[in-house]
Amino acid sequence: MKPIIRTEATRDFHQAKWNEPIIFELHQEGEKGVEVPLANEEVVSTIGDGVSTIPASMSRKNRPNLPEIGQARVLRHYLRLSQETLGSDFNVEIGQGTCTMKYIPKINELLIRNPKMMDLHPLQEESTVQGMLEIIHNLDLCMREISGMGAFSFQPGGGTQALFAMASIVRKYHETRGEGDQRDEIITTIFSHPSQAATAVVKGYKVITLHPDENGFPDIEKLKGVVSERTAGFVVANPEDTGIFNSKIKEFTKIVHEAGGICYYDQANANGLLGITRAKEAGFDMCFFNLHKTFAAPHMCGGPATGALGVTEALKEYLPGPIVEYDGVKYSLNDNLQHSIGKVRAFHGVAQTILRSYAWIRALGPDGLREVAQTAVLNNNYLYHKVQKIRGASAPYVKGQRLEQVRYSWEQMASETGITTEDVQRRMTDFGLHYWTSHHPYIVPQPFTLEPTESYSKTDLDEYINALQQISDEAYNNPEIVKNAPYNSTIHQLVEEDYLDNPEKWCITWRMYQKKVLKPVLIK
C-alpha cells in the first residue's frame, strides 16, 4: 500500500447537501407527527367537548393550515437541516470575531437536561428551588470577582438586552437625581457593537459616536470635546472590535464621571481579560458579560442567551428584579429594589445559560480563567502575525497591542484583484470554515475579524491560515475560482436580485411565496 499522505494544505471538504423541500411540501393529508394526550373518558363525560364554551366570535373557523407529516419524516427533515448547518462544534470557528466562539463543554449540556433544572417553574416556592438559587448566587459571586462589581442580574436575555438594561439604569439614575431631562446624550464609539448605539436610542437618548484616532484608539480629545452636562452615559468596549486595548480607559471614565455621566462597559467579550483586568479598576459603574461568549454558553443559532449585568454596590437598587440573595442559611428572591428599572425579561432570565456558565467557571477555577485569557491572547497574536504575511491582507492601525481579536483588511487584495471580503467569505465555506466580514459600517475597508479564543490548537489555527493563504493565491492567480464560490457548500450562490429588498418579491413565509410566486405561475 502506498502510504496515504495528505499534502493538501486545505481540507478536502463537502458539506452535507440534502436538498430538503420546505416543510410544507412534505404535507400528506392524514399523516400525523405525534399524538397529543386526549382528555380522560370520565373527564369528557363530565364536561363534554370542552370547546363549545368558546364564544362564537372567538372560535377558530378552520384548522390552521399546517402540514401533516409522519413523525419519522419530520425528524428526518430537521436532522438533515441540522447537518446543513456549520455549528462551531464542527469547524475551526475563529472567523466570527467579536463573537467568542469557544468550545462548548458537553458536560454542561448534559447538566442542563437534568429534570431538576428543565422542569422547574419560575414561580415555585423558594424552598423548592434552593439548588437553582444557589447556582445563581454562586455565579453572581464569581462574576463579582471577575469584574469587581457589587451585584449581578442575569435577567437580560443577551448582550443587546443588557445594553438596554444599562441604558435604562442610566436613565433611571439621572431621573432619580432630577437630571432625567437634562442628560439626554450617550457617548459611544464606532468600533463597537451596533447595539450600544441602538439601545441608547430605544431609551430615548441622542447618540454621540466617537471615531478612532489614526492609531485606532478611541480619541480622548474628541471625548473631552463632547462631554457636557448633557452627558448621561458613556458606553464602550475595550478592546473594541479592532482588538486594540485602550490603555487610557481609566482617563476616559474619569472624564465622563467628572461631567456627571455614568460609565458602562460592554464586556460581551471579555475573553482576553479574565483575571487580568477588571471593570472596577477601569472606573466603570456597570458592565455586562455575554455568558454565550466569554462564559461558554452555546450560541444556539442565536439564543436564548444571557447578558450578565453587573453594577457597583451603589447602583444595585436599580437592577431589574428579582435578584437572588443569601442570608447564610437560605437563598431568596429579592424583588424590592428601591430604584429598580422594573423588568427587561420574564421571570429570572435563561437559567440553563446561568448553569452552564457557572459550570464552566468551576471547571476552570481562577487559574484556569487566567489561562483562558492568556491563551486567547497568545492565539490571537499568533494569527495576527501570520495573517499579516498573507499577500493582500493587513491589520490597520497601531502595530501590536492586540488582545483577543483583530480586525483585518483585504483592501489591498481587493484593489489588486477585485476579490472582495464577501468573495472570500463564500470561498471559505468550501474548506469547511466559517468567515464573517464585520459589523457595518466598514470603517476598515474590506474587513474581516478573527478571534481564535483559547479553544483552538495551533494546528487548527494553521488550517485556517492556510485556507486564507490559498484564497489569496487564487485571488491573485485565478480570481474566477473565488468569484464563483462556493462549490462544496449545501447550496450555490444566491441569485443577486432584489428578492430580499423588493416588497413585491420578498417572501418571508411559505404562504407569501405561494401568493407571490406560485399562484401567478399556476394561474398562467
Partner 1 sequence: MTKKVHPYIPNMVPKVKEEMLKVIGVENSMELYSCIPEELQLQEEMNIPKALTEYELRRHIEGLLKKNISTNDYINFLGAGCWQHFVPAVCDEINQRSEFLTAYAGEPYEDHGRFQSLFEYQSLLAELVDMDVVNVPTFDWGQAAATSIRMAARINGRKKVLIAATVAPERTKIIANYGSPELEFSNIAFDLDTGLMDLDDLKSKISNEVAAIYFENPSYLGFIESQGNEISVIAKEHDVLLVVGVDPISLGVLAPPSHYGADIVCGDLQPLGMHMNYSGGQAGFIATRDEETFINEFPSRLFGIVPTIKEGEYGFGDVAYERTSFAQREKGKESVGTQTALWGITAGVYLSLLGPEGMYELGQTIMQNSQYTVKKLNKIAGIQGSRIVSPFFKEFIVDFNDTGISVQTINEMLLEKKIFGGKDLSKEFPEYGQCALFCVTEVHTKEDMDCLIEALEDIVTK
Ligand X SMILES: Cc1ncc(COP(=O)(O)O)c(C=O)c1O
Kindly list the residues in this chain that would bind a copy of itself in the complex (CB under 8 A).
Answer: 1-3, 6, 11-19, 21, 26, 28, 31, 70-73, 75-76, 79-80, 83, 89-91, 103, 105-106, 432, 455-457, 459-460, 499, 505, 507, 516-518, 521
State the minimum distance, in angstroms, from the CB of residue 259 to partner 1. 21
Residue 267 backbone phi and psi in degrees, to 5: -110, 30
> 89 or 175: whose CB is closer to a copy of itself?
89
The stretch among 67-75, 255-263, 412-420, 442-450 that binds partner 1 (CB under 8 A) is: 67-75
Q: Does 438 bind ligand X (CB under 6 A)?
A: no
Q: Does 338 bind partner 1 (CB under 8 A)?
A: no
* CA–centroid distance for 434 within its chain: 15
Q: How many angstroms separate the CA atoms of 129 and 135, rounded?
A: 10
> 63 or 440: whose CB is closer to ligand X?
440
SS3 for 419-437 is CCHHHHHHHHHCCCCCCCC
Q: How many angstroms separate the CA atoms of 291 and 306, rounded?
A: 6
The stretch among 203-211, 224-232, 255-263, 413-421 that binds partner 1 (CB under 8 A) is: 203-211
Q: Which residues lie below 8 Å from residue 208, measured CB to CB, with a gap of 6+?
A: 185, 186, 187, 188, 226
Reference 452, options 401, 397, 386; nearest CA is: 386
Which of a copy of itself, partner 1, ligand X, none is residue 521 near (CB under 5 to 8 Å by kind)?
a copy of itself
State the minimum distance, in angstroms, from the CB of residue 344 to a copy of itself. 33
> 106 or 524: whose CB is closer to partner 1?
106
List the grid coordinates of 304: 436564548
Binding to partner 1 in span 179-198, by CB under 8 A? 180, 193-195, 197-198
State the minimum distance, in angstroms, from the CB of residue 336 to a copy of itself. 39
Q: How many angstroms separate the CA atoms of 270 and 274, rounded?
A: 7
Which of partner 1, a copy of itself, ligand X, none is residue 518 near (CB under 5 to 8 Å by kind)?
a copy of itself
169 contacts 286 by C-beta, under 8 angstroms? yes
Binding to ligand X in span 140-169, by CB under 6 A? 158-160
> 48 or 225: whose CB is closer to partner 1?
48
Site string for partner 1, 497-516 (x = CB under 8 A): x-xxx-x--xxxxxxxx-x-
List the grid coordinates of 34: 405525534
Site string for partner 1, 261-290 (x = CB under 8 A): --------------xxxx--xx-------x
List the grid coordinates of 256: 465622563
Which of a copy of itself, ligand X, partner 1, none is residue 14 near (CB under 5 to 8 Å by kind)?
a copy of itself
Q: Does 237 bind ligand X (CB under 6 A)?
A: yes
State the minimum distance, in angstroms, from the CB of residue 241 to ligand X. 7
Q: Which residues lie below 8 Å from residue 507, measured CB to CB, with a gap of 6+?
A: 499, 513, 516, 517
Question: Of 10, 231, 290, 429, which lies in the binding site for ligand X, with binding defined by CB under 6 A?
Answer: 290
Binding to ligand X in span 11-30, by CB under 6 A? none
Reference 442, options 485, 396, 486; nearest CA is: 396
Q: Which residues lie below 8 Å from residue 5, measured CB to CB, with a gap of 6+?
A: none
Q: Does 305 bind ligand X (CB under 6 A)?
A: yes
> 159 or 243: whose CB is closer to ligand X?
159
231 contacts 260 by C-beta, under 8 angstroms? yes
Q: How many angstroms separate the CA atoms of 433 and 111, rounded?
A: 29
291 contacts 357 by C-beta, under 8 angstroms? yes
Q: How many angstroms separate the CA atoms of 451 and 377, rounded?
A: 9
State the minimum distance, in angstroms, from the CB of residue 47 to a copy of itself. 25
Residues 304, 307, 313, 318: what is their CA dihedral angle, to the nearest 10 degrees? -70
Where does this chain bind ligand X (CB under 6 A)?
98-99, 158-160, 193, 195, 237, 266, 268-269, 290, 305, 307
